[in-house]
């Protein structure tokens, strides 16, 4: 940033300095030329033709330098077939015209016809009264004064712009270092977090970096939450597998007659536990993904076809917003809807009604059946892993627990109510709404 700032400052100051140099040098040169033009006009105004046909000045020019030999200020009047009429300051030298022209306009140019002295010359061709000769009036002055003023101006410009550049670069460097200084504090805080000295960036920061610090702290909270969930699920899985393994080991140690049945039964329990925790782990891994979106209607139709093949006597009706989109992975959405619709078909009386309602921030799926329902005092307990009210039908008791866990991972909710229309259970699944869907 400092290097880029220095480069831009250098480019801008060079451009500005060059432009200012042109303006000032042109102004000094123009003033120099105006003085010579004033002398040239005075010469033309005082020039006359004498009786002998030669030109002369009826009054002398006021500047005494025209009378001093080699003074640096000269004039000369020339005409074809006539002797040159020079100022005394030219002494034994003669001005020569550097450009061939035959017009009454004033011409200005630099000349090096005197080896030891550079000249600035103004000349104009005039036809005087009582003469047919084209007289060339010339005024010349040494460029030493003009060049000295130009050099002084450029010296002042260069020194001033160098100091200005150094000052601006120093200010840009200080501003950059001061502006980025909070990042050093953040880096130090991150290093302290890595070494375990602190858990969050708690030091107050400037308002410009506060949003970044907040996002960093939220990311740390998210990672800690995921790590805690991973530890908890690992502990839960270990605890869930411990009992079946103990039963199998005891039966194997005792060489029980029903060992094979025991292994099959307890292996099924372990497999269900593993499936449950794997499903939750997959959902946790996908949580917060920027592209987690799924259409509700295709998932409902797929579940309807699958459950319809298993429970052919059950009628499943779907109604509501067919364009609803939720911020959930399609696989997790299928698993949640599948568990709820299958439970409704299994424990209901033959009718299942699913309604999709879209709100401002959430999409609600209402799964109703015409079964016996669940008493209000039992509705919270039924979400516990392995909890079942009807043990006469096959099942593991993990369906609602999986739905609740996956819904909470996506910041959704699931609750149990009584269906007013069908009289059985109503399951209300609320999931975050997504406004955009990418096919």
- Residue 117 maps to which CATH number? 3.30.450
Is residue 35 domain-shared with residue 130, that is, in the same domain? Answer: yes
**Residue 342 resides in a domain:** yes
Is residue 6 domain-shared with residue 140, that is, in the same domain? Answer: yes
Q: For the chain, what is the domain count?
A: 3
Is residue 117 domain-shared with residue 21, that is, in the same domain? Answer: yes
* Mean pLDDT confidence for 226-243: 74
Domain final residue pick, 265, 286, 307: 286
- Helices 144-194 and 2-46 pack at an angle, to 10 degrees, of 170
**Residue 173 resides in a domain:** no
Is residue 141 domain-shared with residue 279, that is, in the same domain? Answer: no
pLDDT at 326: 93
**Residue 198 resides in a domain:** no
Is residue 428 domain-shared with residue 359, that is, in the same domain? Answer: yes
User: Which tops the pLDDT comparison, 381 or 391?
Assistant: 381
Domain that holds residue 331: 294-432
**Residue 188 resides in a domain:** no
User: Which tops the pLDDT comparison, 247 or 288?
Assistant: 247
8 A C-beta contact, residue 126 and residue 44: yes
Is residue 223 domain-shared with residue 122, that is, in the same domain? Answer: no
User: Which tops the pLDDT comparison, 196 or 24?
Assistant: 24
* Mean pLDDT confidence for 202-210: 76
- Positive or negative: CA dihedral 95, 96, 99, 102: positive
pLDDT in tens, 19-52: 999 999 999 999 999 999 999 999 999 999 988 8
Q: Report the percentage of the chain scoring pLDDT > 70.
A: 90
Best mean pLDDT range from 68-82, 268-282, 370-384: 68-82
pLDDT at 87: 92
Is residue 111 domain-shared with residue 44, that is, in the same domain? Answer: yes
pLDDT at 89: 92
Domain final residue pick, 286, 311, 337: 286
CATH number, position 367? 3.30.565.10
**Residue 176 resides in a domain:** no
Helix/strand/coil (H/E/C) assignment for every residue in the chain: CHHHHHHHHHHHHHHHHHHHHHHHHHHHHHHHHHHHHHHHHHHHHHEEECCCCCEEECCCCCCHHHHCCCCCEEEEEECCCCCCEECHHHCCCCCCCCCCCCCCCCEEEEEEEECCEEEEEEEEEEECCCCCCEEEEEEEEECHHHHHHHHHHHHHHHHHHHHHHHHHHHHHHHHHHHHHHHHHHHHHHHHHHHCCCCCCCCCCCCCCCHHHHHHHHHHHHHHHHHHHHHHHHHHHHHHHHHHHHHHHHHHHHHCCCCHHHHHHHHHHHHHHHHHHHHHHHHHHHHCCCCCCCEEHHHHHHHHHHHHHHHCCCCEEEEEECCCCEECCCHHHHHHHHHHHHHHHHHHCCCEEEEEEEECCCEEEEEEEECCCCCCHHHCCHHHCCCCCCCCCCCCCCCHHHHHHHHHHHCCCEEEEEECCCCCCEEEEEEEEECCCCCC
Is residue 345 domain-shared with residue 307, that is, in the same domain? Answer: yes
**Position 204 pLDDT exceeds 70:** yes
**Position 194 pLDDT exceeds 70:** yes
Mean pLDDT of the chain: 84
Is residue 264 domain-shared with residue 355, that is, in the same domain? Answer: no
Domain final residue pick, 133, 149, 165: 149
* Model-wide pTM > 0.95: no
Which residues face 85 on adjacent strands?
A: 77
**Residue 172 resides in a domain:** no
pLDDT at 191: 81
Report the alpha-carbon distance of residue 83 to residue 92 in Å, rounded: 14
**Residue 160 resides in a domain:** no
**Residue 282 resides in a domain:** yes
Is residue 321 domain-shared with residue 245, that is, in the same domain? Answer: no
pLDDT at 391: 41
CA nearest neighbour of 98 among 136, 132, 54: 136
Is residue 141 domain-shared with residue 16, that is, in the same domain? Answer: yes
pLDDT in tens, 152-166: 999 999 999 999 999
Is residue 8 domain-shared with residue 145, that is, in the same domain? Answer: yes
């Amino acid at each position: 940033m400092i290097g880029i700032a220095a480069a831009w400052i250098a480019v801008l100051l060079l451009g500005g300095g060059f432009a200012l140099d042109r303006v000032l040098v042109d102004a000094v040169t123009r003033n120099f030329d105006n003085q010579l033009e004033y002398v040239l006009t005075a010469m033309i105004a005082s020039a006359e033709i004498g009786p002998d046909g030669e030109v002369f000045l009826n009054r002398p020019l006021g500047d005494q330098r025209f009378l001093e030999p080699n003074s640096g200020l000269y004039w000369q009047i020339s005409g074809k077939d006539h002797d040159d009429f020079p100022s005394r300051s030219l002494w034994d030298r003669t001005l020569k015209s550097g450009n061939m022209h035959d017009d009454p306009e004033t011409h200005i140019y630099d000349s090096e016809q005197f080896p030891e002295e550079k000249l600035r010359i103004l000349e104009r061709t005039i036809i005087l009264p009582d003469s047919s000769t084209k007289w060339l009036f010339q005024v010349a002055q040494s460029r030493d004064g003009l060049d000295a003023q130009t050099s002084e101006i450029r010296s002042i410009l260069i020194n001033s712009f160098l100091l200005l550049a150094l000052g601006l670069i120093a200010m840009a460097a200080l501003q950059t270092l001061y502006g980025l200084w909070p990042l050093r504090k953040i880096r130090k805080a991150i290093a302290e977090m890595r070494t375990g000295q602190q858990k969050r960036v708690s030091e107050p920061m400037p308002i410009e970096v506060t949003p970044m610090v907040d996002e960093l702290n939220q990311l740390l909270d998210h990672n800690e939450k995921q790590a805690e969930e991973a530890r908890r699920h690992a502990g839960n899985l270990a605890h869930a597998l411990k009992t079946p393994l103990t039963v199998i080991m005891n039966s194997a140690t005792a060489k029980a007659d029903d060992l094979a049945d025991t292994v099959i039964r307890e292996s099924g329990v372990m497999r269900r536990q593993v499936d449950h925790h794997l499903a939750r782990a997959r959902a946790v891994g996908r949580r917060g993904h920027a592209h987690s979106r799924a259409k509700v209607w295709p998932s409902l139709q797929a579940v309807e076809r699958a459950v319809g093949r298993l429970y052919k006597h059950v009628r499943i009706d779907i109604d509501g917003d067919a364009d609803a989109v939720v911020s959930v992975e399609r696989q997790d959405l299928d698993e949640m809807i599948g568990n709820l619709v299958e439970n409704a078909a299994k424990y209901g009386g033959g009718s299942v009604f699913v309604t999709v309602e879209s709100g401002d921030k959430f999409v609600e799926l209402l799964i109703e059946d015409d079964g016996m329902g669940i008493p209000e005092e039992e509705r919270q307990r039924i979400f516990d892993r392995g909890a079942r009210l009807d043990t006469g039908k096959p099942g593991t008791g993990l369906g609602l627990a999986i739905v609740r866990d996956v819904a909470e991972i996506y910041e959704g909710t699931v609750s149990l109510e009584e269906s007013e229309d069908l009289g059985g259970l109503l399951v209300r699944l609320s999931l975050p709404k997504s406004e955009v869907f990418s096919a």
